[in-house]
Copies of this chain bind each other. A is one copy, B any other.
């Protein structure tokens, strides 16, 4: 299906080049197709971008499950699940990376990411935390910190972050996330 090839090319370009630099012509060329067809399929660049950023609802179940289970190892499970989400299979991570990149250069992208974090992450996850009133803030800051790590590894590619293997990342970061999520 050509339509799917266009969508995959768009995902890849948006996640690697950002919204502005990912031109319709390049996406079309990647899919081996004329630029006009892309517009005919998706209507506009904005609509194509929105389609490229949409991800399957099941992608978040893994993360959600990490919040269930024994509190003492919550930080480790959440950190693991988060890295799986953003650094795992391209079908899930590319929309998320595209969202991140777009959130910085594109106003619509910022709104999309804001809405994703607010309603898809925080509102579903924070009720699972122990204690009450600042659970949303705790979940929000933990998510922000983990996204910071993802940005440093996957986008800015800071050598010392990229060169640290997954196991060591967990060892360094999980206790900190634990501290944010459930307190001292």
Residues of A within 8 A of B (CB): 18-21, 100-101, 103-105, 110, 113-114, 117-118, 122, 134, 136-138, 140-141, 143-149, 151-153, 155-161, 164, 168-169, 172-173, 175-177, 179-180, 184
Which of A140, A143, A173 has the largest count of B CB atoms less than 10 A from its CB?
Answer: A140
Minimum CB–CB distance for A73 against chain B, Å: 14
15 contacts across the A-B interface (CB closer than 8 A): A19-B105, A101-B104, A104-B104, A118-B159, A137-B161, A137-B172, A140-B152, A140-B158, A140-B161, A140-B164, A141-B164, A144-B151, A145-B146, A145-B148, A145-B149
In the complex, are the beta carbons of B141 and A161 less than 8 A apart? Answer: yes
Minimum CB–CB distance for A8 against chain B, Å: 21
In the complex, are the beta carbons of A164 and B149 less than 8 A apart? Answer: no
Instruction: For A155, give its contact among B103, B153, B179, B184 (CB under 8 Å).
Output: B103
In the complex, are the beta carbons of A160 and B118 less than 8 A apart? Answer: yes
**Nearest B residue to A172, CB-CB:** B141
Cα A117 to Cα B137 with chains together (Å): 27
Cα A153 to Cα B117 with chains together (Å): 12
Minimum CB–CB distance for A53 against chain B, Å: 14
In the complex, are the beta carbons of A160 and B137 less than 8 A apart? Answer: yes
Which of A136, A143, A156 has the largest count of B CB atoms less than 10 A from its CB?
Answer: A156
- Residues from chain B with a CB closer than 8 A to the CB of A159 are 114, 118
Instruction: For A156, give its contact among B105, B117, B172 (CB under 8 Å).
Output: B117
In the complex, are the beta carbons of B169 and A141 less than 8 A apart? Answer: yes
In the complex, are the beta carbons of B114 and A156 less than 8 A apart? Answer: yes
